[in-house]
A and B are shown apart, each in its own frame.
Chain A
């Protein structure tokens, strides 16, 4: 910087055709030319300088590097002590979003404080993009003065920089070296530079955009492979959100999902610590995510905090405060609705501006497909499990039951052949055992193939009996007789279940039983028998429980008895007519 103001003396010009037209070579060239700035700068040399500048600018493909280079060259070409490039917002307010300076020292910039946003004189060129040359800034009616601690600036040259027909920003040059005004030639050459800069900027922008697009395409392409290694569920969503944040350069990213738009919940977050309990507590009924899920269209907002549709999840959960954000739909054809959100802090809003929302949108689309595939795979595994259970059931049925049945039959037909009565009674007992075993196996087959949410009376009774095992500390035996699912009318089922529950809980709490038998029969009537071997239920308990069970029976035209079992214990017998 100071080399411009002070005018460094040394340096040799490099041959113009040098293939490695390095920055140092260029700077030397510049210096040499500027050595003569106190006199009349050779017009020829200035144009040569401009041409060289165009070449080097075109070689620079990083937008940030290019911006500062343009500013410096402009300052040098026009012989300005201070140079700046104000980059316009894309938004409708047309103010400056970026102010790149040259010539002012760090301390000066610090002292000035906030960089200009494009009011006053700077705004004039924004509103009317024409070159403007002034003898003294302060004299212009649009000027409203400098902030305190601002270095003195009088002479002024402003030139808009266009990319195609659109104004990208403005070059502001002040304080012509040597104290005079900027000349028409200065203006001419800066206008030419601005035109060249526009092209270079366009190139750089396209290049950065292409690189960004490339990054997203790569992420979109490999998300499926990435997801194939994790189980479906929160883990896979975490993979998606992490990858999205990584590619987008977002400060925080999160995924909201649910079975439908009314049950959306914050599922995972990247870039902040997600407390699952706190996250599930955030109501998203009227959030941007819900809006995106409803419309299926991506949203880009400049400031989450200012958008009336937004729920400020970051504030609620103590995440980094997010300004600009992009929210894209994450929806599968069935059973899941959701959205992926990317948020940037306000300081990094340029990242948000650079990102075309269609890129994360197609990434999300691809991720959704991959999630669906993963879920399909899991479904297949579940199905395989069901089929396996079915097969086990079939084997029990086709092999085990048949054999037991056949053995029972042959024992039965052998019984009359036995001479000794005790042999006959033993054979008979064995047949009974075989039959009981067959019934148990049949029950197992039923349990194997019954769905967890089946609602028929057999499934429900089985569930209640299984559940009672935890309080009883043993599993009651359970038998069904007759076509219970067919013959027990739907309106009777709740009573059957209630009586069963009551009887089992009495046996567990009061009887101290070690064995309980449950029988549900639909042969001559609907009959529920619960028999335990405990010490009997206290009369008080029996009375209240019994009256309830009896009422249920009588309402259906049946009866309920509680009697001592032979050999100790209690038998509850509840029966109502078949419907």
Chain B
């Protein structure tokens, strides 16, 4: 039932993907069996080849720019970091590398992660529904799977916050500006250049914003609820 969210997946799958060389993919996921499963699935197509894989965010951030894959498929959460940070780092070095965020959270979280990462889209960890192969082909061809209107919606939602505790969720004006530029798809380097900040500073900002808004927000909300519990 129901196609997954993506505004432009209604066309015929095999349409415009004829290319001379196979699509080069890098896989980042800390579960080996997941990497194997995805690799088998992708390589069974013939026109996709997995050129590298890793279970570590740090390692991936170092290897991906060197390997220069067409598409990097990045698990959102890893033992030593987040796919979001890896994505931002890699694309700061080489904006021609397209990325997909792979996640087992739900669509809302995935969408948020993809936007914060500057990725071209996301793939939920479910076999059917999201056509991984088709998505990889489209992203390799330079398409973004994110609808700017939806991105704007997400950013708006982030700005409003989950309306739990203003003191926790409030973004500083600088963070607000950076969020805006992330929404425009800028890399850390580009944001740094725009706001006259060091790339590393931008990176730190992004990390702190993720902590404020991201997956940990529920626990923060719980802490808040506890603090304000009645006697």
Separation in Å of the A332 CB from the closest CB of chain B? 8
B108-A484 in contact (CB<8A)? yes
Chain B 141-167 against A: per-residue CB contact (8 Å), 1 yes, 0 no?
Answer: 000000000100110010000111000
A408 contacts B by Cβ under 8 Å = yes
A519-B44 in contact (CB<8A)? no
Bound form: Cα–Cα A416–B40 in Å: 12
Bound form: Cα–Cα A383–B223 in Å: 6
Separation in Å of the A435 CB from the closest CB of chain B? 5
B222-A481 in contact (CB<8A)? no
Say which one of A132-140, A295-303, A353-361, A399-407 lies at the interface with B: A399-407
Quick one: given A386-B226, A405-B125, are A413 and B44 in contact (CB under 8 Å)?
Answer: yes
B200 contacts A by Cβ under 8 Å = no
* Contact partners of B128 in chain A: CB under 8 A: 431-432, 435
B38 contacts A by Cβ under 8 Å = yes
B4-A438 in contact (CB<8A)? no
B231 contacts A by Cβ under 8 Å = yes
B1-A519 in contact (CB<8A)? yes
B66 contacts A by Cβ under 8 Å = no
Q: Which parts of A240-272 form the interface with B (CB within 8 Å)?
A: 257, 259
Taking CB as reference atom, which chain A residue is nearest B40?
Answer: A413
A450 in complex: contacting residue of B1, B33, B218, CB < 8 Å: B218
Quick one: given A386-B223, A402-B31, A529-B1, are A485 and B108 in contact (CB under 8 Å)?
Answer: yes
Quick one: given A335-B230, A486-B111, A486-B153, are A438 and B3 in contact (CB under 8 Å)?
Answer: no
B231 in complex: contacting residue of A233, A401, A407, CB < 8 Å: A233
A410 contacts B by Cβ under 8 Å = yes
A524-B3 in contact (CB<8A)? yes
* Contact partners of B127 in chain A: CB under 8 A: 405, 408-409, 411-412, 431, 434-435
B37 contacts A by Cβ under 8 Å = yes
A482 contacts B by Cβ under 8 Å = yes
* Contact partners of B108 in chain A: CB under 8 A: 458, 483-486
Bound form: Cα–Cα A371–B110 in Å: 43
Taking CB as reference atom, which chain B residue is nearest A414?
Answer: B40
B231-A442 in contact (CB<8A)? no
Quick one: given A431-B128, A446-B106, A523-B4, are A410 and B150 in contact (CB under 8 Å)?
Answer: no
Residue among B127, B218, B228 with most chain A CB within 10 A = B127
Bound form: Cα–Cα A257–B1 in Å: 55
A375 contacts B by Cβ under 8 Å = yes
B104-A481 in contact (CB<8A)? no
A472 contacts B by Cβ under 8 Å = no
B227 contacts A by Cβ under 8 Å = yes
Bound form: Cα–Cα A445–B128 in Å: 20
- Decide if the interface of chain A is mainly helix, strand, loop or mixed: helix
Bound form: Cα–Cα A521–B2 in Å: 7
A522-B5 in contact (CB<8A)? yes
B154-A486 in contact (CB<8A)? yes
Bound form: Cα–Cα A98–B68 in Å: 101
Quick one: given A402-B104, A486-B154, are A453 and B225 in contact (CB under 8 Å)?
Answer: yes
B105-A397 in contact (CB<8A)? yes
B230-A259 in contact (CB<8A)? yes
Q: Which parts of B97-153 form the interface with A (CB within 8 Å)?
A: 104-108, 110-112, 125-129, 150, 153
Separation in Å of the A424 CB from the closest CB of chain B? 15
B2-A523 in contact (CB<8A)? yes
B150-A383 in contact (CB<8A)? no
Separation in Å of the A98 CB from the closest CB of chain B? 43
Bound form: Cα–Cα A41–B86 in Å: 112
Taking CB as reference atom, which chain A residue is nearest B29?
Answer: A402
Residue among A390, A406, A446, A456 with most chain B CB within 10 A = A406
A527 contacts B by Cβ under 8 Å = yes
Separation in Å of the B78 CB from the closest CB of chain A? 10
Separation in Å of the A56 CB from the closest CB of chain B? 55
Q: Which parts of A377-399 form the interface with B (CB within 8 Å)?
A: 379, 382-383, 386-387, 390, 397-398
A535 contacts B by Cβ under 8 Å = no
A438-B104 in contact (CB<8A)? yes
Quick one: given A387-B219, A486-B153, A487-B5, are A402 and B105 in contact (CB under 8 Å)?
Answer: no
A89 contacts B by Cβ under 8 Å = no
A481-B4 in contact (CB<8A)? yes
What 5 A-B pairs come out closest when comparing CB atoms? A409-B37, A406-B33, A386-B222, A408-B127, A483-B107
Which residues in B have some Cβ–Cβ distance to A below 8 Å?
Answer: 1-5, 29, 31, 33-34, 36-38, 40-41, 44, 77, 104-108, 110-112, 125-129, 150, 153-154, 157, 162-164, 218-219, 221-223, 225-231
